Amino acid sequence: MVSTTTATAETTSNPVVQENENEQKSKENGTAKASARHQAVGHKSLLKSDGLYQYILETSVYPREHESLKGLREMTANHPWNLMTTSADEGQFLMMLLKLINAKNTIEVGVYTGYSLLSTALALPPDGKIIAMDIHRKNFELGYPFMVQAGVSDKIDFREGPALATLDQMLTEVCEARLKFAITT
């Protein structure tokens, strides 16, 4: 009796074992529950086990997630294109990289509802700036209230349209600015 209880506790606390058990049950039921869950969480990492990925999210990633990012993630989960979003673990990795290089001025190509944009805005210093580009303003606008709530909306300069055109325009502006600088010195 005691050993049965112990075995059960060990099994459920080990995410890999749990995952294998789930997949086995899924196969037994003749369904593809495991792969459906895989898609449902927007799983894009190198981890092959959804159980392990879920364990990492719940024990390490979500507890560190900013409340506005959490709100944005939950809102995006109900959007029909939600598989496009940056996941919470990717967002935290991105924030770490931005802080490591002391990034201040950045660009973002492809915003969707803005999980990586808000992550970036939170990681930049108070005078940091992001030029964010997307062909769909509507999706950005869904996420914008969370950027306002987080107090970082003044760092964001959203530009609607194909990124190539926006980048060309930025290049022209930079060249013109340099030319003016050369003339006046």
Q: Which stretch binds ligand SAM (CB under 6 A): 18-26, 98-106, 111-119, 151-159?
A: 111-119
77 belongs to the binding site for ligand SAM (CB under 6 A): no
Using CB under 6 A, pick the residue from 37, 52, 106, 110 that binds ligand SAM: 110
* Separation between Cα atoms, residue 101 and residue 78, nearest integer Å: 34
* Separation between Cα atoms, residue 34 and residue 45, nearest integer Å: 16
Quote the distance between the C-alpha of residue 57 and its chain's center: 12
Site for ligand SAM in 4-43 (CB under 6 A): none
Smallest separation, CB 119 to ligand SAM (Å): 8
Cβ pair 132, 112 in contact under 8 A: no
Distant-in-sequence, close-in-space partners of 28: CB < 8 Å, separation ≥ 6: none
84 belongs to the binding site for ligand SAM (CB under 6 A): yes
Q: List residues near ligand SAM by CB under 6 A.
A: 84-86, 109-113, 115-116, 133-136, 139, 162-163
